Amino acid sequence: MARAAAVTPPTRLPATGDRSGAVLARLQLMVTRKLDGLLQGDYAGLLPGPGSEAGESREYRPGDDVRRMDWPVTARTTMPHVRRTVADRELETWLAVDLSASLDFGTGRWLKRDVAVAAVAALAHLTVRGGNRIGAVVGTGAAAGGPGTLLRLPARAGRKEAQGLLRAVAGTEVRPGRSDLGALVDMLNRPPRRRGVAVVISDFLSPPERWGRPLRRLRVRHDVLAVEVVDPRELELPNVGVLPVVDPETGELHEVQTADPGLRRRYAEAAAAQRGAIAAELRTAGAAHLRLRTDRDWLLDMVRFVAAQRHARTRGTTR
């Protein structure tokens, strides 16, 4: 889908070559203040998982993970029970960050790339505590169908290491073309790791059949969160007359007559169908789905998501 080029530049982080430690420090400070101010309470991560240590049993409730069924208690009581588990304080979180050329676009307050980097900062803040480790794999574009660049950043514990990971992600150059999202997700499956949390950050514009299967394999062993980054112009076109648009992945330039209501309607319908297919694939894979937009307060949306996850957990569900 082509994306608008003739737009007012949004507020954004500095360009890749200009990203300074001071800018990233301010971003981390903003994340820390907002998340610590709105998410008070006991230890909890972004995606509270079921843990790994056995705890007490309780009656099954709709929405519980059937893999946690306590069959001996169920047999004794003739009522379905699930086994509570105690959260593991030393979790390992891996991020798959898609930095295809389509992420270097935005018509809202931020570029999509900047929202992705900011999401990495928030995830690092929420997971690096109590000795938890965080690592990442980063994928960049592949011009003319060639192989993309895949970078692996090893999982380490500590805030200093998390800050280094953030700097590495923020400093990754966006290359022309689209990265192979399926191959990027598969990097989280190899080598096999102990159960943990896997987060995929992307606009998911690659056809779902290319990344759906790797995501389902990932979900077998890990709790998976998909962070979808969206710009409003990818959902609908404004009525601004003739609008030059360019596909950042191919460089193709077109002129679109946005005054045509039929064209705007067809564009919106196609965009809605595309996003619906993405959501359906993520749902089939069993991934939690968080959508962040460039024209909204992405940090507030993340806070609401974490609060909803915690609320679901207190009711006995994990998602």
Predicted confidence (pLDDT) per residue in 290-300, tens digit: 999 999 988 88
Question: What predicted TM-score, i.e. pTM, was given to this entire model?
Answer: 0.76
CATH of 91-317, one of 3.10.20.740, 3.90.1150.10, 3.40.50.410, 3.30.360.10: 3.40.50.410
Which amino acid, residue 258? T
Radius of gyration of the chain (CA): 21
Instruction: Convert 24-36 into a string of H (helix), E (strand) and C (coil).
Output: HHHHHHHHHHHHH
Q: Please give the mean pLDDT across all residues of the chain.
A: 79
At a CB cut-off of 8 Å and minimum separation 6, what does 212 contact? 281, 284, 285
pLDDT, tens digit (0-9, with 9 covering 90-100), for 77-130: 888 988 766 555 567 889 999 998 889 888 888 899 999 999 998 888 888 766
Predicted pLDDT at 13: 52
- The answer to whether residue 18 scores a pLDDT higher than 70 is no
The tally of CA atoms less than 13 A away on the side-chain side of residue 277 is 15
Domain with CATH 3.40.50.410 in the chain: 91-317
pLDDT tier at 216 (50, 70, 90 boundaries)? Answer: very high
pLDDT tier at 72 (50, 70, 90 boundaries)? Answer: confident
What tokens does 76 get? 């004794």
Predicted pLDDT at 140: 87
Residues 188 and 199: their CA atoms lie apart, in Å, by 9
Q: Give every strand in the sheet of 150-157, ordered side by side.
A: 150-157, 133-140, 92-99, 197-202, 223-230, 288-293
